[in-house]
Amino acid sequence: MIKQEAPPLHHRKRQLVANIPVNKYTKSIASFIILLSFYFLGYFTAPVVVVQPQQINTIQQSTNPPAVVDHNRFSTQCVNPVAPQLVRKTILDRVFNGTSPWLNFPPAHVIPLLRPRRIKGWGSNGAVFETLIREVRPKTIIEVGTFLGASALHMSELTHQLGLNETQILCIDDFRGWPGFKDKFLKDLAMVNGDVLLLQQFMQNVVHEKATESILFMPFSTSSALEKLCEWGVFGDLIEVDAGHDFHSAWSDINKAYKILRPPGGVIFGHDYFTSADNKGVRRAVNLFAKLNNLRVQTHGQHWVIHPAADTT
Ligand SMILES: C[S@@+](CC[C@H](N)C(=O)[O-])C[C@H]1O[C@@H](n2cnc3c(N)ncnc32)[C@H](O)[C@@H]1O
């Protein structure tokens, strides 16, 4: 018997295929399998793959914004508070090179440009000032937003009436006001080369009221001045916040001012809690600040008041 030699492997495969009966069912099954393989290889699902991981992240970020606490990071660590009796000297040294800005004020060229006394304020004589000064008996008051000095002069008068003759009032203001304020409120005051002379008229008011021994000022942005006070250890027993009223200004001022509020017993307060101006910016900032710090907001007339010690005991 002649032993038939097995054909080489590649021929055998061809033979096998050749032996399968080809009918219309086989053809459609084969087409179906091919289609299925394309599907699993991803050809038909390709559009899904086009979405890049980066795009997915972007979408996730916009639907899950970063925690609001991120906006609460005002990182400067304040140094230990200097003694209240050193506050005035610290400001004179650090801001005015050791020379009082009241010395020889007003200079001759400014005299004809100023009114002997020109005051304008908003809620600057509110009952809250007396209530808090009686309660706190502050040695250092910091006012954030001073304008022509109406509220600062009122506080100075109150401290003297209450026998707090050593109290220093530190006024922070860039003394620029805000666009359009002059036309609305101070048409009668001079403007020289675009300078509204707010600082000089404020100083003149303080000189007129004989309050130069109790009032000093920092003519800078509230943000930079508060940062420096923290760096120099100048703390306030009573801090009034009444500068920018939009949310972001108020938010920054309140957070930075709170860092230099002398513990325990210091009180921070501010004007315009109920105003709808600037999209209720002051109220939104105060409420958010209180919520994040577990503090209570009290109101006194148009003012908001926070007593941290009352909330931690
Ligand atoms: C409403 S007035 C203050 C009124 C004052 N507390 C009173 O009752 O008489 C606001 C003051 O804040 C000042 N101010 C606003 N934003 C400021 C900022 N970022 N830095 C410094 N001063 C600012 C303005 O120049 C203005 O004099």
DSSP state of 3: P
Ligand 1 centre distance from Cα of residue 245 (Å): 9
174 in ligand 1 pocket by Cβ < 6 Å?
yes
pLDDT at 25: 58
Residue 149: Cβ within 10 Å count:
31
- Distance between terminal CA atoms of the chain? 112
pLDDT at 36: 59
278 in ligand 1 pocket by Cβ < 6 Å?
no
Selection from 241, 229, 308 nearest residue 281 by Cα: 241
248 in ligand 1 pocket by Cβ < 6 Å?
no
pLDDT at 77: 84
State the Rg of the chain over Cα.
Answer: 36
Q: How many CA atoms lie within 13 A of 234 on its CB side?
A: 28
Atom of ligand 1 nearest to the CA of 120: 9
Ligand 1 centre distance from Cα of residue 144 (Å): 7
Domain spans of the chain? 9-59, 77-312
Atom of ligand 1 nearest to the CA of 249: 19
150 in ligand 1 pocket by Cβ < 6 Å?
yes
Selection from 87, 97, 278 nearest residue 253 by Cα: 278
pLDDT at 30: 59
pLDDT at 16: 38
270 in ligand 1 pocket by Cβ < 6 Å?
no
Please report, in tens digits, the pLDDT of each residue of the chain (313 residues total).
333 334 333 333 334 333 444 455 556 665 666 555 555 554 444 444 333 444 434 444 445 555 555 677 776 789 999 999 999 999 999 999 999 999 999 999 999 999 999 999 999 999 999 999 999 999 999 999 999 999 999 999 999 999 999 999 999 999 999 999 999 999 999 999 999 999 999 999 999 999 999 999 999 999 999 999 999 999 999 999 999 999 999 999 999 999 999 999 999 999 999 999 999 999 999 999 999 999 999 999 999 999 999 876 5
Q: Selecting from 3.40.50.150, 3.40.50.720, 3.20.20.70, 3.10.180.10, what CATH number does the domain 77-312 have? A: 3.40.50.150
Residue nearest to atom 16 of ligand 1 (CA): 244
219 in ligand 1 pocket by Cβ < 6 Å?
no
Pocket test for ligand 1, best of 195, 221, 242, 302 (most atoms within 8 A of CB): 242
Calculate helix-pair angle for 150-161, 198-208, nearest 10 degrees.
20
SS3 content of the chain, % helix, strand, coil (to 5): 45, 10, 40
